Amino acid sequence: MKRKGYLEIIRLSKEYGEVKALREVKLTVPQGQWLTVMGPSGSGKTTLLSLIAGLIKPTRGKVKIGGVDIFSLSDNQLLQFRREKIGLIFQQHHLIPYLTALENVMLAQFIHSLPDEAEAIDSLIKVGLADKINRYPRELSGGEQQRVCIARALINNPGLLLADEPTGNLDRKNSELVLNLLSKLHQESNFTIVLVTHDPWVARWGERIVQLEDGKVVDDFLVQKSRGRKR
Amino acid sequence: MKETITLALSRAFEFCLLLSFSYLYFKNQRDRRLFFLLALGASFGFLLGFLLNLLQMPFAYQLKAWLTKAELIFRGGLLILVFLSSLIAEMLEGRERLDQLKPRFLIYSLLFMTGVVFVGFEGFDLCLKLQSQSFLKMTDYPYYLGAAVFLGFSFLWLLAFRLVVIYLFEFLERVQAPVLTFPVLVYLIVGLRSFFRPELFSSLEVIAARLLHDCVHWLIVFLVFPDHPFLRESFWKLVALAFRKETGLIFNLLLVLALGLWVFMRTYFLPYPPFSEAKSPAERRKFKAELRSRRIYSTRFIFVSWILFSLAAYNSYSSGKSLYFPEPKLLVVDRQGKVSFFSGELDDLMEHRYSFNYRDQTVRLLAIRKPDGKTAVCLDDCLICPPDGYAQLGKDLFCLYCGTPIPIDTVGSPGGCNPIPLKFKIKKGKIVLEANSAFREWVKNNR
């Protein structure tokens, strides 16, 4: 019997003119799974992530999140869906430079529904930034900025977290800090993660790895626990 | 007769169409765009009607006749199509009946075009008036005015179109059914008459006004305040404060503002419920935001009140043309201090107004023979409003100050809105009354 997942990608294709970025990708990700998408540059990782987030429209195929076909929604409904169900983390942090860490998190709350300062402070404490809530992004290190991004992405309790090279700009020490944090929050809240990376070391933090090449899934396997998650 | 039948049929058409829209709307509450498209079509139709007439000015009358015929045929066709759509919607099973109609484009187009046709006539009519002005005054000035009005409306329409495309669809998703139904009812009561004969009261409007008047009359005058001279007079003096020119505006403004404030307080400052069903802080925030949004929406009632207020004002302003309001005939006070006029003057069963000068005051009278043959002679004034007088429309007198309709059957009876009755005698075919007593009543009410 076919297993129904929280995230279902059904024969998904994306073409940019003559360039076929994704070709008939099929994936099912159960609730709470940490999926890592790996592949060389130009293999379609970021395109896949953008499609899952509903940021771009597919040429063919469907993406279902929690049973909802996101491309059957109107633009406004999709916007609302994304606000409530999806958290996004990018390699470039995309923090608002003239807002403090706290205000950046509260902005996400505001866009979702209402700002709640106490809740935002709690989330920053959880990511280990208790003493830096009123700092501006330029006053934070790369790792700290990424932790603010994690707090911002998770503040609205999304069911799905999409991370595009979240440690791409960080050194190994800071990467480990960020991934440790992500792992801890994942275990606590059981949200689904789709993380895109080209770094095998980062990929091993997940539970399952999908290998993309030339827009196609060429490998799909579960991470052996015996390999260990660290280094 | 032909005109009356056409008018009656047209009104019936419009009434049926509005019922159809309401029906379609309730069958498919999710799609608020239907009403929006109707309104959009209506505004576009206004412009189109205006343009059509403007284009044929000043001499192409044949075209006008042709357009009128075409428009009538189109209206009939649309009516049939709308009813067919209703039928299809009824036949389809399931809750989302209209959602299943493919293509829904047909319905949207129908609604839009219906709006165009309906209100197109308004624009046509307005332009026709300007055209006749141009003809009568032998000047092109109204023609240019018409062109300017058209350009102004076009600009506003384009602006509105741009704004609604951006904002209104989203807004309509949140509108509650009664809020949309209410304007339809108001339109039915206030707006029907204006399509063909803007100067007429619609029968529905008169019925509504009379019903309101009777309710107020019976409830307040007879139940709450029994017919006690002292209580009645002092009470009505207080009520009069709300209607007098010096204080009426402030009173009404306060009333509307107080109403708005009450709604605001009632909805906006209610404590939030505990949201026990929320599974996470984010969900709790969402519930809270939705509730707050609903509250903010509720306060829009204030603006709806103001729109209705404006509609009512427009209605009062534009409806007085066909009221029968004769000039008062001047009477002379004789040596015995009496004024008189021939009883036979009242045989036409129409309102007659008289005036006489007494002690440096002009006193106005109103006399009418009622359908039952009884005669009523009153002051042209009531206990409440300033003495602007009464005009006749069919079987009612209308207070020109506040617009309250008084059924002619009740003229001669005392009461708040009724004209103040006077004692009189009939001698040798003449109606005779005491000038001094009429004068005293007049002065008492107009100090």
* Percentage of chain B exceeding pLDDT 70: 30
**CB pair distance less than 8 Å for A119 and B288:** no
Provide CATH code, domain A7-225: 3.40.50.300
- What is the arithmetic mean of pLDDT over B259-264? 62
Residue B126 identity (one-letter amino acid): L
A13–B contact, CB cutoff 8 A: no
**CB pair distance less than 8 Å for A114 and B292:** yes
A113–B contact, CB cutoff 8 A: yes
For residue A112, the chain B residues in CB contact (below 8 A) are: 282, 285-286
Phi, psi torsion values for B425, nearest 5 degrees: -130, 155
Q: What is the pLDDT of residues B239-259, one digit of tens each?
A: 666 666 556 556 665 666 666
- Which residues, other chains included, contact A88 with Cβ-Cβ below 8 Å and sequence gap of 6+? A53, A153, A161, A162, A163, A164
Tokens 């009333």, residue? B255
Rounded to whole angstroms, the Cα distance separating A65 from A191 reads 12
pLDDT on residue B192: 43
For residue B288, the chain A residues in CB contact (below 8 A) are: 113-114
- What is the arithmetic mean of pLDDT over B382-390? 80
* Higher per-residue pLDDT: B276 or B32: B276
pLDDT on residue B316: 46
Whether the predicted model's global pTM rises above the 0.90 cut: no
Which residue numbers in chain A have pLDDT < 50?
1-2, 226-231
pLDDT on residue B166: 55
Examine the pLDDT at B342 and tell me if it is beyond 70.
Answer: yes
CATH topology of domain B329-445: Rieske Iron-sulfur Protein (2.102.10)
**CB pair distance less than 8 Å for A113 and B280:** no
A69–B contact, CB cutoff 8 A: no
pLDDT on residue B287: 83
Read off the DSSP letter of residue A224: P
Would you call A218 helix, strand, or coil by DSSP?
Answer: strand
Examine the pLDDT at B73 and tell me if it is beyond 90.
Answer: no
Helix (H) or strand (E) holding B399: strand B396-399
Distance from CA of A112 to the nearest CA of B (A): 7
pLDDT on residue B101: 46
Q: What is the pLDDT of residues A199-213, one digit of tens each?
A: 888 998 999 999 999
Tokens 């009813």, residue? B83
- What is the arithmetic mean of pLDDT over B434-444? 88
Is there a contact between B341 and B354 (Cβ–Cβ < 8 Å)?
yes
**Average pLDDT, whole number, for chain B?**
65
| Closest CA in chain A for residue B171 | A76
Examine the pLDDT at B200 and tell me if it is beyond 50.
Answer: no
**CB pair distance less than 8 Å for B289 and A113:** yes
pLDDT on residue A123: 92
* Higher per-residue pLDDT: B85 or B428: B428
pLDDT on residue B34: 57
Q: List chain B domain ranges.
A: 2-197, 206-300, 329-445
* Higher per-residue pLDDT: A154 or B230: A154
The three-state DSSP-derived secondary structure of A20-50 is EEEEEEEEEECCCCEEEEECCCCCCHHHHHH
For residue A156, the chain B residues in CB contact (below 8 A) are: 282
Rounded to whole angstroms, the Cα distance separating A1 from A35 reads 22
Examine the pLDDT at B125 and tell me if it is beyond 90.
Answer: no
Rounded to whole angstroms, the Cα distance separating B232 from B136 reads 52
**CB pair distance less than 8 Å for B286 and A76:** no
Mutation target among A82, A83, A114 for the B interface, most CBs of B within 10 A: A114
**ipTM of the complex in this document:** 0.77
